Amino acid sequence: MADCIFCKIAAGELPADVIHQDADLLAFRDLNPQAPVHVLVIPRTHWSGLDAVPADAEATLGRLLAVCRTLAVRLGLSAGYRVVVNSGADGGQTVGHLHLHLLGGRGMTWPPG
Ligand code: AMP
């Protein structure tokens, strides 16, 4: 999508601190980190959010989670971490391209705000 910042990052048209990329996915550090480790994991395909992923692409959802798990090991989050998907207005989603937040490096609280 031409006006999507995450599509531009995936295409290399906007700078980002990319820590993983493969044919389907990209992971980069959040610009406004909410924890010592705050990484966003996105599909290269533009889906506006979780609800927009078609049934025949659901395997990508598993891959997104698997990359979070691999990165958590690589980033030393042995004490634990949190994976968050904000979905829609009530979910607090601000960027309309599906992304998973991988947060770690501090104790998390519950419930989230
Ligand atoms: P959400 O509120 O779940 O849609 O999360 C969007 C996230 O994208 C926020 O944590 C922002 O800090 C982050 N973000 C926005 N623009 C950029 C960017 N250019 N590079 C890295 N992270 C970004």
Q: Which tokens hold the place of 35?
A: 């924890």
| Atom number, ligand 1, closest to the C-alpha of residue 5 | 19
Would you kindly state where each structural domain of the chain is located, as residue ranges?
A: 5-104
Q: What percent of the chain has pLDDT over 90?
A: 97
pLDDT digits (tens, 9 = 90+) for 76-113: 999 999 999 999 999 999 999 999 999 999 999 999 98
Say yes or no to pLDDT of 1 above 90: no
CATH of domain 5-104: 3.30.428.10
Tracing tokens 């994991």 back to the chain, one arrives at 41
The reply to whether ligand 1 has any atom less than 6 angstroms from the CB of 92 is yes
C-alpha–C-alpha distance, residues 39 and 67, integer Å: 11
Q: Ligand 1: distance of its center to the CA of 97 in Å? A: 10
pLDDT of 94 reads 98
